[in-house]
Amino acid sequence: MTPAELGYRLPAEWEPHAATWLAWPHRRATFLGEFAAIPPVFAAVARTLARHEPVRIVAAASVLAEARTALAGVANVECIDLVTNDSWLRDTGPVFLVPQPGRDLPPAAVVWNWNAWGGKYPPWDADARVAGAIADRLGRRVFRPGLVLEGGAIETDGAGTLLVNERCVVDERRNPGIGRVDMERALRDFLGVDRVLWIGGELAGDDTDGHVDQLARFVAPGRVVAARQPDRLDPNHAALEANLASLTSLRDAADRRLEVIAIDVPARFAFEGVQLPASHLNYLVANGLVAVPVFGGPTDEPALRTLEACFPGRVIEPVDCSALVRGRGALHCITRDEPAPPA
C-alpha cells in the first residue's frame, strides 16, 4: 500500500519539529569564489537553530571534525558520521511523513532517488545514500517511489495541497519517460496530498531548474508568499510576473482561491558577472523561528516585515546569505526539517 492509502500526510514546515538537519559543506566546486566564507554561514545557521530546537549535522572524517570544532560548546547540536558529496540536504535528505489525525502509524520517510539535479554535479553516489541512511538511523518506516525528486521542488500547506514547479519535477534528465500525469500520481500516493498545484518559471542562475522554494511558499493553508521582481530590466521580471498571475488563479485542496502575497527579491544580483538566484523566499521555519535570507540591499527590510506579519509569534532572524547564494541556494536549501511525532 502507498503512504496515502495507509493514512500518512506531508506536514507543513511550521508544524512542531523534532530537529533540523544540515550537511556540513566541503565541496568547493559547487560554490563560486572563495570557499572559506561558506562554513561560517553553516555555523551561524546551526547556532541560530540550536536556540530553538535540536540540530543534527552529518559529515565524515575531517569534515566532521571541522563541524565539531566550529560548533564546540554549542548546546543542542549533534554531529553524525555520514559520508556526503555535497551540502544541499533539503534535496538529498528524506522527506518525512506523519500520520493523519486518528491514525495509529509509526513515523515514516520517503526516500526519493537522487541524481544531482539531472546529472549536473558528479559524483553523487554518497548523496544518493544520505536519505536512506538518515531514515534508517531514526528507525523510520521507509517508502521508495523509485523516482527522482528533490525536497526543494515541493512545498505543502500540511492540509493536502502540494505546490510544485513543473520544470524541475517533470524532467527527462531526472525521470526519463515519466510525464506529468504519472508524476502527479506518484506525488499524491507517496506524499499523501489531495491536490497538486503546478507552476513554472525559474530564477536566473538557479541550477535546480526552478525549485519552488525560491519562488513560492505557503505561510498558512490558503496563503502563499511569492517572489516578485518589479525591475523590468532584470532577467527574472517576466517569469515572476507570470508566476504571480498563475498563483492567483489556483485553488487549494479545500477549493479556496489562493491568497498571494508578493515579496520583492534583489534585482540583478550577481557575483563576478554571474547572475545568482537571490531570494528571500528561501527562508527556513523552525520551532518559534523564521530565519530569512538577506543580501545587504533594499529588499531586505520589506521582506522581513512581510514574513513577520505572516508568522506572528515567531522570531524573525535575518541571516546574511550573500556568500551562501554563491552556491545558488540559501537557508531552506541547506536544511531538512524533521517533524515531531504526533502528540
Residues designated catalytic: 333
Q: How far is CA 271 from CA 84, 159, 176, 276, in A?
A: 27, 39, 34, 7
Given a contact cutoff of 8 angstroms between Cβ atoms, the answer to whether 194 and 161 are in contact is: yes
Distance CA 65, CA 337 (A): 23
Angle at CA of residue 133, ends 128 and 137, nearest 5°: 165
Q: Which helix (H) or strand (E) holds 306?
A: helix 300-310
- Distance of alpha carbon 283 from alpha carbon 319, whole angstroms: 9
3-state secondary structure (DSSP) of residue 189? helix
Q: How many residues in the chain? A: 343
If we measure between CA atoms, which residue out of 145, 194, 187 comes closest to residue 166? 187
Q: Taking the CA atoms of the chain, what radius of gyration do you get in angstroms?
A: 19
Interstrand relation of 315-320 and 8-9 (parallel, antiparallel or unpaired): unpaired
